[in-house]
Amino acid sequence: MARVVTVGAAQLGPIQKAESRESVVERLCALMEKAHRRGVQILVYPELALTTFFPRWYMADWAEVDRWFESALPSNTTAPLFAAARRYGIGFHLGYAELTQEADETGKLRTRRFNTAVMVSPAGEVLLKYRKIHLPGHAEFEAQRHAQHLEKRYFEVGNLGWPVRRIGWDGIAPANMGLMICNDRRWPEAWRVMGLQNVELVMLGYNTPALNTTNAGHESPHLRVEHSHLSVRAGAYQNATWAVAVAKAGNEDGHELFGSSIIVNPQGQIVAEASSWQDELIVADADLDLCRLGKTTIFNFAAHRRPEHYGMILDRVGARDPD
């Protein structure tokens, strides 16, 4: 039996700082209803899909920070999304800011904050959870920046690795699914850890400014999109997997996010691409058996990888000149 799953990328237009969570959830539900009409079985929403991209704002007061986080999923506010998924029989991926009371590596129970994504079954079960590992930006206010990017302030580095799980339900043949978030897509290591688990469908959400906000040099906006697509296409091709990369797009309180969500096949080709900076659905029929060619030939890892020569990747963090 062909293993074809109809996947949808639910790009979100801007979410202003003042927009309520209830209003955002309504938008998510409207996209899900549209996805249902187009036969989507798995719908992917962006990173931090319930709020504006709040790490661009410096907050000293942690009570204020915590207002951007979810301490339960579903909650009263997000319950309509879970109900819509049940009604339509759609599984979904959602990025959100997670607030949890959890023991750390020393065993101490404390408040922890993560940039998280989950894959939820139509019945509302969390099948897969990922906490962002490659956190970009900085931890303190930086006056020279056009905009802050305070992910290192508000989130801890994820502690769940890059999990891949074989997932299926009535109407969906089992497939190896994995999650990464935004900046991870630029790191081949993230893709390869999932490739080594035979991933067939990678889901990822992102919020990427249309301008390089570090002020460190000029990077034209079209190259920002190019680099995003290049990263996803290379990751998909080199690991012979489908990838759904979904953006938040448009002008959030004066800060532009470039959007350009894509669905990519295991050959690294873009098969669907968003064209607006609004809430927009793109759809593709993902034939998971197309992963087999790459996985059994040029990227047959068992036959061709040479880990005995890759030691430096684990031993060395920063680059340095040769001795």
Residue from the set 41, 52, 176, 183 that interacts with ligand CDV by CB under 6 A: 183
How many CA atoms does the CB half-sphere of 167 hold within 13 Å?
26
Q: State the residue for tokens 């994995």.
A: 178
Sites for ligand CDV among residues 257-316 (CB under 6 A) = none
| Residues forming beta bridges with residue 10, ordered by sequence position | 281
Instruction: Say how far apart CA 251 and CA 232 lie, in whole Å.
Output: 23
Give the 3-state secondary structure of residue 88.
helix
- DSSP per residue over 157-176, as a string? PPSS---EEEEEETTEEEEE
Query: Of 70, 129, 132, 248, which is the active-site residue?
Result: 132
Residue from the set 36, 129, 131, 186 that interacts with ligand CDV by CB under 6 A: 186
Kindly state the smallest distance separating residue 180's Cβ from ligand CDV, in Å: 10
Instruction: Say how far apart CA 235 and CA 75 lie, in whole Å.
Output: 34
Give the 3-state secondary structure of residue 76.
coil
Task: Please choose, from the candidates 2, 23, 6, 103, the residue with its C-alpha nearest in 3D space to the C-alpha of residue 279.
Answer: 23
Active site residue 47: yes
Nearer to ligand CDV, 88 or 162 (CB): 162
- Residue 19, amino acid: E
Give the 3-state secondary structure of residue 18.
coil
Query: Of 47, 98, 151, 252, which is the active-site residue?
Result: 47
Q: Quick check: 208 binds ligand CDV (CB under 6 A)? A: yes
Tokens of 289: 């058996």
**Distance of CA 162 to CAs 14, 180, 195, Å?**
28, 7, 10
Residue from the set 68, 82, 162, 206 that interacts with ligand CDV by CB under 6 A: 206
Nearer to ligand CDV, 225 or 291 (CB): 225
Active site residue 33: no
Sheet with 172-181: list strands edge to edge.
164-169, 172-181, 201-206, 242-247, 262-264, 270-273
Kindly state the smallest distance separating residue 53's Cβ from ligand CDV, in Å: 7
Stretch of residues binding ligand CDV (CB under 6 A), selected from 86-94, 182-190, 263-271, 302-310: 182-190
Q: Quick check: 78 binds ligand CDV (CB under 6 A)? A: no
Sites for ligand CDV among residues 125-164 (CB under 6 A) = 136, 149
- Please enumerate in sequence order all residues whose Cβ is within 8 A of that of 247, keeping only pairs 6 or more positions apart, or say none: 11, 12, 46, 205, 206, 207, 208, 257, 258, 259, 260, 261, 274
Active site residue 182: yes
- Residue 93, amino acid: H
Stretch of residues binding ligand CDV (CB under 6 A), selected from 59-67, 203-211, 274-282, 309-317: 203-211
Mask for 101-130, x = binds ligand CDV (CB under 6 A): ------------------------------
Kindly state the smallest distance separating residue 83's Cβ from ligand CDV, in Å: 29
Neighbours of 313 (CB within 10 A): 12
Nearer to ligand CDV, 90 or 210 (CB): 210
Nearer to ligand CDV, 135 or 286 (CB): 135
Residue 228 in contact with residue 234, Cβ under 8 Å? no
Mask for 27-66, x = binds ligand CDV (CB under 6 A): --------------------x-------------------
Q: Which residues participate in catalysis according to the annotation?
A: 47, 132, 182
- For binding to ligand CDV (CB under 6 A), which residues are involved? 47, 136, 149, 182-183, 186, 206-208
